[in-house]
Structure formats: structure tokens, C-alpha cells
Amino acid sequence: MSTPQILVFDDKSYAASTAAVVAQVISECVSQRGVCNLALAGGSTPPPIYKLLSRADLPWAQVHIYFTDERAVPPTDLASNYRMAADSLLEHAPIPPEQIHRMMGESRPADAARRYTQTLQGVSLDVVLLGMGRDGHTASVFPDDPDKLSARGAVPSRSPEPPTERITMSLSVLSRARYAIFLVRGSSKARCVQQVLEGGVVGRLLPAGLVRSDEVLWLLDTGAAAHLRNPR
């Protein structure tokens, strides 16, 4: 794993700047490998980024969509990460439907996790997009999760915030991606960003600090970067 790269954008340009960086990485993936296996982040930060990404001139026919995590709700539920991605990206970019690999939030989490572990068999993830909570969780891997280091494949998890029941890619799956791109904005995240990126071993043991992909890129807005001593 190389040293995490950090890019800081002002709040006004954050969505456009991060969408441009993600588009560039996707485009490079496809030109180098003929395909881009892209796993989407959930939460409230991605939608404006995904909307802009859906308008980018990208080789969508070579892009496969995965999900880093999902809430245990039906895909039509407003809390569904799939629904958020569909509304902001999947229904607007020409991605072949058979290349969209949804986590089955409507199933029992253990069943959905088993099924997604099979979906991931033989898949080499190129890019995982990730958010980070104020507690340092990422995807739906939470700090007090006893299995967070040993889990393999996709696993069920429980969030302290509702919706409680989740399915998530494990840290081992996330860390095998070539690129992990954190999309983190807002001053409420600043203390945890500083802990993960500059806080030594304590920060590196938070789930967001345990993603050990080949390339780790943090795309921050000025609020989220506010406590960094030396934002690159």
C-alpha cells in the first residue's frame, strides 16, 4: 500500500472536482484493463457526485457496478444505497443492467452476504468508493465490530445508527481493490479524518484506516480537512 494521497477541494467545487477525479480513474482502468469493476459508496455524500459522474463521457459498457455495502431494506426503500445509486447514476448512465451487481437488501442479511460473497468470487475490484462516518466506520464496517479484521467476502453487520441491519464488503475485500477513493466532506468528519491520516496507530486501527488498497486517495472538502496539519 502506498502512502494515502490527499486532495482537498473547496465546498463549492467538491462534487464536480471529485466526480472529475473518479471519472479519470475509471477511464484509466478501462484503457489499461478493458474493464472497470467499480464498487459504489452509500450514504448522503455520493449523490451529487454520482449525478455529475452519470454525465461524464465514460466507457460505461466496460464498467461493472458493485456495492460496498447495503442496508437491509428493499431496493425501493429511501434508505437503500441501491436506490440512491439508481436515482443518481444507474438510471442515467448507459450501464448494461447485467453489469449492475446489487446486494439483496430485501433478503436476510446472512443470506444476502453469502450470495454476495459468491458474486465477488473471481472479481478483481478496480475501484472502491468509500465514505467515512464520524466514528471512523467505512462501508458498514464499524469500530466495535469484533470480526472486522478476520471477516472475508461480504458479511452481515449491525450499525449503531438505523437502519441497523446491514450487509458489507469486508475490509479484506475492500483492501484487495487496486484503488480505494474516500469521499469525505463536512467539518463533522474533520477530527476523525485527522485521526485516521495523522493519528498514528490509533487512527490506523479505525475501519477507514484499515483499508489497505494499493492506492488510497482521500478526496476531502476544506471542512473535512480542517484539522489536518499538512494537507498535501
Smallest separation (angstroms) from ligand 6PG to the CB of 184? 8
Residue 44 as a binder of ligand 6PG (CB under 6 A): the answer is yes
Nearest Cα residue to 37 out of 166, 213, 204: 213
Instruction: Report how far residue 107's alpha carbon sits from residue 123's, in angstroms, rounded to the nearest whole number.
Output: 22
- Nearer residue to ligand 6PG within complex by CB, 42 or 223: 42
Residue 113 as a binder of ligand 6PG (CB under 6 A): the answer is no
Smallest separation (angstroms) from ligand 6PG to the CB of 146? 18
Instruction: Report how far residue 40's alpha carbon sits from residue 218's, in angstroms, rounded to the nearest whole number.
Output: 15
- Nearer residue to ligand 6PG within complex by CB, 65 or 139: 139
The number of angstroms, rounded, from the C-alpha of 80 to the middle of its chain's C-alpha atoms is: 14
- Nearer residue to ligand 6PG within complex by CB, 98 or 161: 161
Q: Give the DSSP H or E segment for 82.
A: helix 81-85
Q: Is 31 exposed, middle or buried (0-12, 13-18, 19+ CB in 10 A)?
A: exposed
Smallest separation (angstroms) from ligand 6PG to the CB of 43? 3
Interface residues with ligand 6PG (CB under 6 A) are: 41-45, 69, 81, 131-133, 137-140
